[in-house]
Amino acid sequence: MELLTAGLPGLVERHRARVSALEATLTAARAAADAWAKDPAEGDARIEAAMANTPTPYATSFGEPPTAAFPAPPFEPCTVVAADGSSIEPDRFAPVPCYVLNTGWAVLPYRVPGEAALASKPILGPREPLADAGEDDGEDASPGGRGWGVSLLRDIEERETAIHLARERLVHGPVVLLFDGTFLPWDLDSPRIAANVRRQVLRRLQDALALLATGDEPLSAGAYISGSRAGDVVTSLAVLAGQDPAAWLAADSALFATLLGEGERSALFRSRSQRQKTVEEQFPADSQVVFFYLRTGGDIARVELPQWAATPARVARLHATLVDQCARCDGYPRALQEAHEQAVISGADRQQFARLLETEAARQRVFPPSNGKQSSKRRRAV
Amino acid sequence: MTPGTGGDAPRVVEAGLRSFVCAYERYVEDPFRLGQLVAVREGPWSILGCVVDTESGPEDPGRPLQAPGGSLTAAEVFAENPHIRPLLRTRVTVVACGYIEGEGAFALLPPAPPPLLARVESATPAETMHATSDGAFLALLVASALCDDAVLAAVLRGAATAHGAAAGEFTVRAGKELARLLKAEPARLSSILRGVTA
């Protein structure tokens, strides 16, 4: 530790120097943003032309001046619904390859009728044997491999759960639906995940999003990314400033920290990239993702939402509710925090599950493959 | 509404022969009251017990309840923070003081603890009269380290109410039984009797 301590002053000093050097870049980025705001259509056209054949994510404007900052509207009564998930990944040393998904949710009515609900639902999988791996069944579709797409299955469980809960609560008044992370799970196009898993999840997600988007009810939806490191907007600004995006600002948050006051949101932007296009093409056009940034406390959060939910009334409700939720929970939405608390699988729970699995497997005379390294780690005797 | 009967009944979460703990699904402001007689009617016999303690607080000890500032009442704080109530639980500790099997009431420990997760409900006035009429039920309570003077006074007051017009006769009988049980502890007897007549 003494050796590490000696290096800390230099480390911090180098970081300070890097941050100072960003000031000039930030000034240039703000100038490019001002120019973009004067003629968004012209700016969008230049950005699209420059980025058309690159894999780098970028952003275009979405009906609002890119430098705009909107104060939070007053919070109105509503029910806030959120879901989050946790999982036990397949363990290749376990006697039976399997996984656990635990979906937690929070339904919190604020000055509207209905009971608050905090709960979770665990699922043990796989429920049925996967078909034999085919040519397109992912780079590791073996039992317990990444091809099972546990994180993708967790994402779809979260979304289905939250969407059904949100629709149920519409009878009591406006609803704001929150997810943690991106609005669409990008693993939908991951070649690492077995194709049949991706197909199954895609169908379920299509159905869930279709259910979410039906009707003109007072329903707002957003996916919340705290401390976002995305750089779509600054990449676009690099194009407009004639700079190389690779040697420019790395994250949008650095820019919006200078543009947004407490509780303010940025303009809406359209998120663009080849990968996003690949995923979004599988959904109706009005499910394409738009986003804004939100300043709450010291955090610059990115909030993603489907286009159909980007109407002024829905965005205003989402914005006001997020600011209110963050004020209730030290800078992070209360409902997401409580859903996370319900979803989390503790270390003790994981160990207990492993023991239960081993016990049941032994009862049926199924034993794990012998593995010297794993046995040695468990024993640890001197 | 009778205290402790609002909403869902609590269920047994820790079971012993001499005492058991029951928990409401969430925090309740009107749990069973101190000294109230309750019954577990699931199983081969109905177990009767006396409420000796009630505690409310967070279900997860790792997430202590933080007191907010301001001038809001508790009801207003709950309304403004709907996540709090589902995270709280109310737990009630009960000391067994007898059981009913068929037509017979026995002022004895039950043969087995109540089933875990069995519902715990208020004893009916008939059950209370049946189980307390001769004062014999007091022996188990007096012998329990969980029953202090306040509990014994409260249970006598509550049982007297169940006896209606015969409350006076019941109180005299129970007082005599208590005097017999506590003949070596006159100070304690006085303390309990003061609580009964308070």
pLDDT at residue B12 is higher than 70: yes
Helix-strand-coil split of chain A, %, nearest 5: 50, 20, 35
Which CATH number do you get for residue A203? 3.30.2170
Residue A172 CB partners (closer than 8 Å, separation 6+):
A79, A109, A112, A113, A114
Tally the domains of chain B.
1
Task: Specify if B6 maps to a domain.
Answer: no
pLDDT of chain A along its 382 residues, tens only?
888 998 999 999 988 887 777 888 889 999 999 999 999 999 999 999 988 888 888 999 999 999 999 999 999 999 999 999 999 988 888 888 899 999 999 999 999 999 999 999 999 988 766 554 444 444 455 555 556 888 889 999 999 999 999 999 999 999 999 999 999 887 888 888 888 888 888 899 999 998 888 777 899 999 999 999 999 999 999 999 998 888 888 899 999 999 999 999 999 999 888 777 778 888 888 888 999 999 998 899 999 999 999 999 999 999 999 999 999 998 999 999 999 999 999 999 999 999 999 899 889 988 877 666 666 666 666 7
Half-sphere exposure of B55 (CA within 13 A, CB side): 8
In a domain, A136, yes or no: yes
Contact B14/B7 with Cβ under 8 angstroms?
no
Q: Is the pLDDT of residue B41 over 80?
A: yes
Strand stretches in A247-349, DSSP E? 265-266, 269-272, 289-296, 299-306
Helices B186-197, B149-162: axis angle to 10 degrees equals 40
B72 at interface of A, judged by CB pairs closer than 8 A:
no
Which range marks the domain in which residue B167 is found?
A: 11-197
Q: Of A70, A47, A44, which is closest to residue A312 (Cα–Cα)?
A: A70
CA distance A264 to B139: 68
The whole-angstrom separation of Cα B116 and Cα B97 is 18
Q: Which residues pair with B55 in a beta bridge?
A: B91
Look at residues B157, B187, B188, B195 and name the one whose alpha carbon lies nearest to residue B174: B157
- C-alpha A258/C-alpha B156 separation (Å) is 71
Task: Return d(Cα A299, Cα A281) in angstroms, integer.
Answer: 32
pLDDT tens, position by position, A90-129: 888 888 889 999 999 999 999 999 999 999 999 998 876 6
Question: Does the CB of A106 have a partner CB in chain B at under 8 Å?
Answer: yes
Contacts of B80 in chain A (CB under 8 A): 110
User: What gap in Å lies between CA A250 and CA A260, rounded to an integer?
Assistant: 18
How far apart, in whole angstroms, are the C-alpha atoms of residue A273 and residue A340?
A: 30
Select the residue of B60, B63, B82 nearest A108 (Cβ to Cβ): B82
Assigned domain for A49 exists: no
Rg (chain A; Cα; Å): 23
B63 within a domain of the structure (yes/no) = yes
User: Within the 49-68 window of chain B, which residues sit less than 8 Å (CB to CB) from chain A?
Assistant: 60, 63
Token pair of A201, please?
A: 């999840």
Nearest-CA distance B80 → chain A (Å): 7
Tally Cβ neighbours within 10 Å of residue A86: 21
* Chain centre to alpha carbon of residue B93: 7
Beta bridge partners of B38: B49, B122
- B126 occurs within a structural domain: yes
Q: What is the pLDDT of residue A370?
A: 66
Nearest-angstrom CA–CA distance, A344 and B66: 22
Contact assessment for residue B48 and residue B20, using Cβ atoms and an 8 Å cutoff: no
Query: Tokens standing for A96?
Result: 């039976």
Closest approach of chain A CAs to the CA of B116, in angstroms? 22
Closest CA to A165 of A203, A120, A232, A201: A120
Would you say B149 and B192 are in contact if contact means Cβ atoms under 8 Å apart?
Answer: yes
The verdict on whether omega for the bond into residue B64 sits within 30 degrees of 0, i.e. cis, is no
Give, for A177, the enclosing helix (H) or strand (E).
strand A175-180
**Peptide bond just before A126 cis, omega within 30 deg:** yes
- Residue B188 located in a structural domain: yes
Residue B2 lies in a domain: no
* Structural domain containing residue A152: 74-229+282-343
Reported ipTM: the value is 0.77
Residue A118 contacts B, CB cutoff 8 Å = yes
For the record, the structure tokens of B109 come out as 């420990």
pLDDT attached to residue B61:
87
Nearest beta carbon to residue B86 from set A110, A117, A328: A117
Q: How many independent structural domains does chain A possess? A: 1
Can you tell me the distance from the alpha carbon of B66 to that of A164, in angstroms, rounded to the nearest whole number? 32
CB contact under 8 A, B82 and A110: yes
3-state secondary structure of A293: strand
Could you tell me which chain B residue has the CA closest to the CA of A338? B83
Tell me which residue of A303, A319, A331 sits closest to A225, measured CA to CA.
A303
Q: 3-class secondary structure for A51-71?
A: HCCCCCCEEEECCCCCCCEEC
Chain B residues within an 8 Å CB radius of A109: 82
- Examine residue B181 and state whether it is found in any structural domain, yes or no: yes
- List CB contacts of A275: < 8 A, sequence separation 6 or more: A55, A57, A186, A189
What is the helix (H) or strand (E) element at residue B189, kind and residue range? helix B186-197
Q: Strand, helix or coil at A313?
A: helix
B101 vs B116: CA distance, rounded Å: 19
Going through A17-132 in order, the beta strands assigned E by DSSP cover: 58-61, 69-70, 78-88, 99-110, 117-125
> Cβ distance A303 to A225 under 8 Å?
yes
Summarised one tens digit per residue, pLDDT across range B50-101 is 999 999 999 998 899 988 888 999 999 999 999 999 999 999 999 999 999 8
